[in-house]
Structure 1
Amino acid sequence: MDEAWFHVMSQSTKDICLFRQSEECYMCEFLEWARIEAKGNVSLVVKTVYPVKMYFESNGQRWCHTTYSFKEYGQYRLNISDSGCDSIEVLESPFSALYPILGAFFVLFLFVLLWNLVKFAVNYKGMANTQERVAPSLDLQSDLGSPSLADDSKVMKSERMPAVQHQKTRIVSLDTFRGISIAVMIFVNYGGGGYELFKHCAWNGLNVADLVYPWFMWIMGVSLVISLQSQLKSSLQRKHLFLNVLLRSMKLLAVGVSLYSNNTDLFSLRVMGVLQRIGILYLIVGTIETMLIQPQGSVRIGKWPVVQDVLDSWLQWLIVIILTTVHTTLTFLMPVPNCPKGYLGPGGLHYSLTQGYKYANCTGGAAGYIDRLILGEKHMIIYRELHDVYHTSQPYDDCGLLGTLSSVLTVYLGVQAGRVMLYYHSTFPRVARWTIWATVTGFAAGILCKFSKEEGWIPINKKVWSLSFVLAMASMSFFMQSVLYLVIDDRHWWSGTPFHYAGMNPLLLYVGHQMTKSMLPWNWKPFLYSHTELLTMNLWGTALWLITAYILFCKNIFLTV
């Protein structure tokens, strides 16, 4: 899988060396691939994941510099002589790896069509009643299930904002967004069909797998502020709110550490992880909001009602900006032994083409150094995609400590989206503000990265959780929520099925899929190791969890901490 045959036919009268490098490896030195004797031939297996740059060398002379994108299962030939080389010739046509994806979309389309036909055929009223089942709103009060919110069609007009007293209804679009995030997370964690598109980027850039974690954090922020506001209206004291936040954070940390304890050796246990960072962020942002949030009934309309939601949280924003500034200052100014200040690269072969191997042991710059200093290398991991592309040998953790500071901004931008819901109760003010936030954060991310993958001041990078990455993901989250809110909550063109069931029980799905990812019936040992088989298996495993979420919803079973 992801391999092709490359045959080099030499007509040269001297021995030749073939050098290559993946196009994904930015500014990396070329590595020797093969030695070809005079008038000799060689057959090579080449990875098809990224385009390959190559050239030939003999006696210090280089020629035939080329970049070629090989395709899976293809057979290719190149004739070379002392004076030059021909174009690469396709001997056997490759198999398009996109066919299984197109087939999966077709099957999904048929499934959606069949689902709607069945809904139409059955008792529609009974199905509607099922969809209106309300999960326990207090238990699902943060990132693991959206809270309840009344839908008031009136915009703020009076001097004093009245507390909403209507019957609680779920924000189905937020449940659906959360459900989409957990479904995609399960799919990519299961392998994503073996496609590079569904894996994490080696370093800079974005793939599908890089999107879902920041989406989840952003959604947690939305739900957090609405839940806290609801509890304040219930006359719950702030000290009790803080204790609830603290207890919930500790539980998330404990569950996260337990998931990584397959190796019970405490000297090599991974300390940080997905749920661990979520727990820390929940504590930080939850504490900020618990102490400073204004009860909705006490909010007064000032001179700037259009931005009242921002003005009323100026102190919270000040704290978040300070934390973000601390992150940026440490990233660019903290001295790292034997590494230049402000380095944000992967180490290994990075920049070895022009500057030698001076960055080889600088993986992650200040972020990697802080984690290795505080957590210890044995409590971190080596990412295979990073090693395969950049030949990095240093351990690194993309859920590390410094990136947690910038993640606070990710969550708080979600808090701001939730505050929009609290302050403005009709569709247009909500969607308009979310769209403005999406535009501003997206444009700011583009400026920081210079709208480039590698050449920006701060490239978009999930592994170091760069500021441009935070803003880009927030922009996408604002946009996604706007679209889903219009389609689901406002126009009712889609019920959110089947994702909103998963969005009401994400903790159970996340923990469950982590514990059973190597077990039947979710996974099995592949027979052929083809994209078709892996895609089928990974989609099947994801679908089983979506079905599980629906069954648990019908039985009113929700896992919370």
Structure 2
Amino acid sequence: MNDTVGVSNDTWQWYREVIRSWLEDPGVHVFEGLNMTALKMDEAYMVGSSEINVGVYSVSDDCFRCPFKLQRNISAGEERVWVTSTARRSTWRVYANYTEQYVTAGDTSGLLCQLRPEMGEFGVYRLNASTEGCDIRTVREPVDIYLPLLLLLGVLFGIWILYGIIKLIMSRVRRTGKLRYGDKELAIQQRLRALDTFRGMAIVFMIFVNDGAGGYWWLEHATWNGLVAGDLVFPAFLWIMGVCIPLSVKSAFAKGVPRWKIFMHIVRRSIIMFLLGMSLNTIYGSNMLHELRIFGVLQRLAVSYLIAAGFYALTAPKYYTPPRVSGACGQALKDVLSCVWCWVLAGVLVAAHSVLTFVVHDPNCPMGYLGPGGLHDDWVAANCSGGAAGYIDRLLLGRSHVFQRSDAMRVYGGEPTDPEGLLGCLTSAVQALLGVQAGATVLLQRSHKARISRWLAWALVFALAGALLAGFSREHGVIPINKNLWSMSFVLVTSACCLILLCFCYTLTDAWRFWGGGPFRAPGLNAIALYVGHSLCAHLFPFHWKITNMRTHAISLVEAVWGTALWVIIAHIMAKKKVFVTL
């Protein structure tokens, strides 16, 4: 009997530990006198002791070529405790008798050791220093922050399977042969399901990222150079907007709409989008006129749409006929020849952007600087944040009218830079024009194989070109991949990703008709409504809520998924009721 009770207790204890691990529970409130409940997301305790007077310094991998920053001074025989961030891996140094706030990477005088420990959330670590060296060892193991994400993916996969089974049963019970949301979709010229599915994926992921993405840094945005998952959302919107331009212009011509009316509609839509974006800026920022942020996400979309759609509407043939070409090369270039003037415009925009980027500069800054300023490169260009792009924004818009809370400022310091500023509008328009090229393929090529093969070919070309510009590295290329500057390498690489995703969606939804777009198609039909709605409700219940302790990825992930799911449900209700919001 006692053995049975013992086994039951052990089993229950095992289940408790499993549940704790899935929910990022450290398991104790106090450990060796340390209050574990005081730690926040991506934080750990460092306990330092030394036989001599030392300065403990660290630099995060997120801060490229930055000096080491003082964490604590430890006197001989003293023990110090402090909280350290574990979001990004860091390099640590211990110097003898150092008290300066910063130490450059090249300064090795008095250096006792350099370490790169693996640290995690809610862990406890001990640093021991002496004249013979130092080490960092783990006193208490951290929690696994990726288990909640794995659990979420499993739950979503289960819901998707269950939804598919129910849908299959219902379709066999009532075979109506009607489109899911009624006749409204037939009025959209039987548009490709892949386009709405693609756009829906983008808006759903954008809402999830804006809701915090569970606190996982790689699901948000890169601080400066580099590319993470969150960086793909905005260019995806720009690009798919470009894809739809040839289709909508052709449809307007087919209805007999004059060219000038099409152009004026584009201008009107761009103005509305720009003003709406400025209005939304006041939700997160100041509404004081002398501090009002001028540019933003919708503003960038508006400018890019005006350039790409306006130019295409003015140059596209009224009666669309494929270019007359012969030979293998001619057939391969048929898509390009159909958009030849768009390619000319793209070339002009790239040339203008390159000249401005590498020639225009602040008189006190180096020419062609592309860094974040501040601590970058040991203050080599501390007040030159963003290079030409930042200089032009601060000069023409005013320092107080650009974005003031960027990740680059948080990590590097320096001057404010606007990730949706003036100079980046040129390359954003290029990205929209690359989307126009993909849309022209839909008009020219009627077979699924021809469309997919061309999109994949373009994806390969763009990916290689972007990687070459970036030097196949994050930091050392001629033009690094950078969302904040909207660099050409960023445009090419993200366009390649968009092409691959479109091929995936198109194959499943239009070629094989294996998938109807699932939960993403309805949000894609009302993307602008969802974007504005989730911005307006950024702090409103039930879309967002808090509990006393929001210190784990698990609870933040639940909150982000909850808010995102509500907007997906709203999108499906709107589609069911045939409510489609357009500008």
Unaligned runs of 5+ in 1: 139-147, 149-167
Residue type of the partner of 2:455?
A: W
1:459-492, Cα deviation, whole Å (9 max, x unpaired):
1000000010000011001111111111111112
Unaligned runs of 5+ in 2: 1-40, 98-108
- Following superposition, the deviation at residue 43 of structure 1 comes to 1.3
- 1:210 is matched with which residue: 231, 248, 251? 231
Q: Give distance in 2, aligned partners of 1:136 and 1:394.
A: 48
2:570 aligned residue: 548
Q: Is residue 207–residue 564 contact of structure 2 (8 Å, CA) maintained in 1? A: yes
Q: Give distance in 2, aligned partners of 1:360 and 1:128.
A: 64
Q: Is residue 134–residue 170 contact of structure 1 (8 Å, CA) maintained in 2? A: no
- Following superposition, the deviation at residue 557 of structure 1 comes to 0.3
Matched, 1:65 2:114: yes
Matched, 1:308 2:334: yes
- 1:289 is matched with which residue: 300, 312, 326? 312
- 1:89 is matched with which residue: 107, 127, 137? 137
- Following superposition, the deviation at residue 446 of structure 1 comes to 0.6
Q: Is residue 134–residue 169 contact of structure 1 (8 Å, CA) maintained in 2? A: no
Q: Give distance in 1, aligned partners of 2:70 and 2:119.
A: 18
Q: Give distance in 1, aligned partners of 2:371 and 2:134.
A: 35
Q: Give distance in 1, aligned partners of 2:294 and 2:434.
A: 26
Q: Give distance in 2, aligned partners of 1:549 and 1:134.
A: 17
- 2:244 is matched with which residue: 218, 223, 226? 223
Residue type of the partner of 2:182?
A: R
Distance change (3 Å), C-alpha of 1:361 and 1:522: same
- 2:71 is matched with which residue: 33, 47, 58? 33
Moved more, 208-217 or 262-271: 262-271
2:289 aligned residue: 266
- Following superposition, the deviation at residue 209 of structure 1 comes to 1.4
Residue type of the partner of 1:383?
A: R
Q: Is residue 135–residue 504 contact of structure 1 (8 Å, CA) maintained in 2? A: no
Q: Give distance in 2, aligned partners of 1:297 and 1:394.
A: 49
- 2:57 is matched with which residue: 13, 19, 22? 19
1:560 aligned residue: 582
Distance change (3 Å), C-alpha of 1:315 and 1:97: same
Residue type of the partner of 1:235?
A: G
- 2:263 is matched with which residue: 228, 233, 242? 242
Matched, 1:367 2:389: yes
Distance change (3 Å), C-alpha of 1:542 and 1:78: same
1:103 aligned residue: 151
Q: Is residue 339–residue 440 contact of structure 2 (8 Å, CA) maintained in 1? A: no
1:153 aligned residue: none
Matched, 1:175 2:224: no
Residue type of the partner of 2:306?
A: L
Alignment of 1:182-201 (within 5 A): 182-201=203-222
Q: Give distance in 2, aligned partners of 1:548 and 1:292.
A: 39
Q: Is residue 448–residue 459 contact of structure 1 (8 Å, CA) maintained in 2? A: yes
1:154 aligned residue: none
* SS of 1:65 mapped into structure 2: strand
Q: Is residue 382–residue 393 contact of structure 1 (8 Å, CA) maintained in 2? A: no
1:279-306, Cα deviation, whole Å (9 max, x unpaired):
1111111111011112454444223133
- Following superposition, the deviation at residue 117 of structure 1 comes to 2.1
Matched, 1:2 2:25: no
Alignment of 1:518-537 (within 5 A): 518-529=539-550, 530-537=552-559
Distance change (3 Å), C-alpha of 1:298 and 1:493: closer
Q: Is residue 112–residue 131 contact of structure 2 (8 Å, CA) maintained in 1? A: no
Q: Is residue 361–residue 391 contact of structure 2 (8 Å, CA) maintained in 1? A: no
Residue type of the partner of 1:404?
A: C
- Following superposition, the deviation at residue 170 of structure 1 comes to 2.3
Q: Is residue 197–residue 207 contact of structure 1 (8 Å, CA) maintained in 2? A: yes
* SS of 2:134 mapped into structure 1: coil
Residue type of the partner of 2:416?
A: P
Distance change (3 Å), C-alpha of 1:533 and 1:412: same
Q: Give distance in 1, aligned partners of 2:118 and 2:223.
A: 18
Identity across aligned pairs (percent)? 37
1:154-198, Cα deviation, whole Å (9 max, x unpaired):
xxxxxxxxxxxxxx3121111100000000000000111111122
Matched, 1:505 2:537: no
Residue type of the partner of 1:76?
A: Y
Distance change (3 Å), C-alpha of 1:136 and 1:106: closer
Q: Is residue 113–residue 134 contact of structure 2 (8 Å, CA) maintained in 1? A: yes
* SS of 1:211 mapped into structure 2: helix
* SS of 1:301 mapped into structure 2: coil
Residue type of the partner of 2:490?
A: F
* SS of 2:199 mapped into structure 1: helix
* SS of 1:498 mapped into structure 2: helix
2:161 aligned residue: 113
- Following superposition, the deviation at residue 261 of structure 1 comes to 2.7
Q: Give distance in 1, aligned partners of 2:268 and 2:77.
A: 73
1:31-64, Cα deviation, whole Å (9 max, x unpaired):
1111111122111211011111111112541121
- Following superposition, the deviation at residue 396 of structure 1 comes to 1.3
* SS of 1:131 mapped into structure 2: coil
Q: Give distance in 2, aligned partners of 1:485 and 1:136.
A: 17
Q: Give distance in 2, aligned partners of 1:402 and 1:267.
A: 22
- Structural RMSD (CA): 1.5
Q: Is residue 130–residue 554 contact of structure 1 (8 Å, CA) maintained in 2? A: no
State the TM-score, normalizing by the size of structure 1.
0.91
Q: Give distance in 2, aligned partners of 1:427 and 1:558.
A: 28
Q: Is residue 214–residue 473 contact of structure 1 (8 Å, CA) maintained in 2? A: yes
- Following superposition, the deviation at residue 128 of structure 1 comes to 5.7
Alignment of 1:410-559 (within 5 A): 410-529=431-550, 530-559=552-581
Q: Give distance in 2, aligned partners of 1:506 and 1:496.
A: 14
* SS of 1:257 mapped into structure 2: helix
* SS of 1:261 mapped into structure 2: helix
Matched, 1:383 2:405: yes
- Following superposition, the deviation at residue 127 of structure 1 comes to 7.5
Distance change (3 Å), C-alpha of 1:127 and 1:68: farther
Q: Give distance in 1, aligned partners of 2:469 and 2:155.
A: 40
1:141 aligned residue: none
Q: Give distance in 2, aligned partners of 1:326 and 1:123.
A: 55
Q: Give distance in 1, aligned partners of 2:514 and 2:185.
A: 26
Distance change (3 Å), C-alpha of 1:241 and 1:319: same
- Following superposition, the deviation at residue 553 of structure 1 comes to 0.3
1:279 aligned residue: 302
2:10 aligned residue: none
1:165 aligned residue: none
Q: Give distance in 1, aligned partners of 2:406 and 2:468.
A: 30
Q: Give distance in 2, aligned partners of 1:16 and 1:54.
A: 13
* SS of 2:282 mapped into structure 1: coil
Q: Give distance in 2, aligned partners of 1:335 and 1:123.
A: 63
Distance change (3 Å), C-alpha of 1:513 and 1:92: same
Q: Is residue 181–residue 578 contact of structure 2 (8 Å, CA) maintained in 1? A: no
- Following superposition, the deviation at residue 266 of structure 1 comes to 1.1
Residue type of the partner of 1:483?
A: F
Paired residues in the alignment total: 525
State the TM-score, normalizing by the size of structure 2.
0.88
Q: Give distance in 1, aligned partners of 2:181 and 2:113.
A: 66
* SS of 1:85 mapped into structure 2: strand
Residue type of the partner of 2:49?
A: M
Q: Is residue 239–residue 432 contact of structure 2 (8 Å, CA) maintained in 1? A: yes
